[in-house]
Amino acid sequence: MDTDVLVVGGGIIGLTAALRLRERGARVAVLSADEPGDTVSAVAAAVWYPSHTDADPRVLRWAADTHAELHRQAGAGVPGVVARPTRMLLRQPWDGPPWWAAATGDLVAHPGFGPYATELRFTAPTVEMPPYLDWLRDRFTEAGGLLRRGRLARLDDGFALAPTVVNATGLAAGRLAGDPAVHPVRGHLVLVANPGLTTSVRDEENPAGITYVHPRRHDVVLGGTFQPDEWDTRPDPVTATAIRDRCVALVPELADAPVLAARIGLRPARHGGPRVAVQAGPGPGRRLVHAYGHGGAGVTLAWGCADEVARLALTT
């Protein structure tokens, strides 16, 4: 079939945008250099939370819309999606709800304990990315979308395949879109067997390093690191040990949990926040929609951004 929109990039941002476009009747193809399971999205801890994202009305809207959609999917039994209780421990004095609080719909503050001034409790959708990416891919293709493997040397080359191109290329957008604000943020995770945990716990203000514990069905994601401009994807045993020690101190039930693996991902961040915008393509009737720079908040913002991408791509 002829293609109305070419989505370049097969991670969480590209696949959700492609699915929304297809649901709105567009003929859509996704061009990705890798299978969805081989993208950085597959490595993500994938817990709803606008991590290292500045307050912005657009971001709040995307986060709220995504929270609602993932909560709906959890209720519908979508593979990999679970709404979990979350405890967020704050060391700094409480000065009111965080800017993203309204997006959760149920955030409550409680007095802290020990080194913590406040404990926030809210429900956060969590996503096991490999089965979820498979579900997105299958839903897209079953709806008539096309998946293609390949790379573009230039975004303009995509217009040979469709009059509208969506740039969801993550870190590669720095080169393809000529955007020097794009940069990697290295994240180091440790996976351990789940001893029966069901609640996510965060201590992001830990002076020893960001600390979070996110249970999944069969394992627990322990984190982590946030290292801007670091490209090294090799696991570091010293860092892994430090992460595990911080997480055991936070959640002692993890003390005897066997280590299963370490994972490294390069979050596709952007100074100034995500770029979701449209620009004219090379020639009449051509349109380029950018959707990149979500950093570690890709899962948190994906569905809200997908709706905006669809609007930008299809508005005449």
- Distance of alpha carbon 273 from alpha carbon 213, whole angstroms: 26
Averaged over 231-239, what is the pLDDT? Answer: 95
pLDDT of residue 35: 84
Instruction: Note the pLDDT tens digit of each residue in 115-152.
Output: 999 999 999 999 999 999 999 999 999 999 999 999 99
Say what the pLDDT of residue 37 is.
Answer: 81
pLDDT tens per residue across span 307-316:
999 999 998 7
Enclosing domain of residue 97 = 5-314
pLDDT score of 77 more than 90? yes
CB-side neighbour CA atoms (13 Å) of 6: 25
Give me the percent of the chain exceeding a pLDDT of 70.
100
Burial of 237 (0-12, 13-18, 19+ CB in 10 A): exposed
Q: Which of 189, 279, 177 is nearest to 227 (CA)?
A: 189
3-state secondary structure of 256: coil
Residue 21 confidence (pLDDT) above 60: yes
Q: What is the pLDDT of residue 100?
A: 97
Between residues 18 and 316, the one the model is more confident about = 18
> What is the domain count for the chain?
1
- How far is Cα 97 from Cα 108, in angstroms, rounded to an integer? 9
CATH number at residue 181: 3.40.50.720
Confidence class of residue 38 from pLDDT cuts 50, 70 and 90? confident
**pLDDT averaged over the chain?**
96
Structure tokens at 135: 């579900």
Indicate the pLDDT class of residue 110, thresholds 50, 70 and 90.
very high
Say if residues 46 and 20 touch (Cβ distance below 8 Å): no
Alpha helices in the chain (DSSP H): 12-23, 57-76, 101-104, 129-142, 173-176, 237-250, 298-314
Could you tell me the two tokens for 228? 């801007």
Say what the pLDDT of residue 230 is: 96
Assigned token pair, 143: 């709806």
Q: What pLDDT digit, counting tens, does each position of 239-298 carry?
A: 999 999 999 999 999 999 999 999 999 999 999 999 999 999 898 999 999 999 999 999
Examine the pLDDT at 1 and tell me if it is beyond 60.
no
Q: Which tens digits make up the pLDDT trace of 78-108?
A: 999 999 999 999 999 999 999 999 999 999 9
Q: Distance between CA atoms of 119 and 168, rounded to whole angstroms?
A: 36
Beta strands in 116-167 (DSSP E): 118-127, 146-149, 164-167
Q: Report residue 34's pLDDT band, with 50, 70 and 90 as the boundaries.
A: confident
Cβ atoms of 4 and 28 closer than 8 Å: yes
User: Quick one: pLDDT at residue 171?
Assistant: 96
Tell me whether the omega of the peptide bond preceding residue 223 falls within 30 degrees of 0, making it cis.
Answer: no
How far, in Å, CA of 2 to CA of 133, rounded? 25
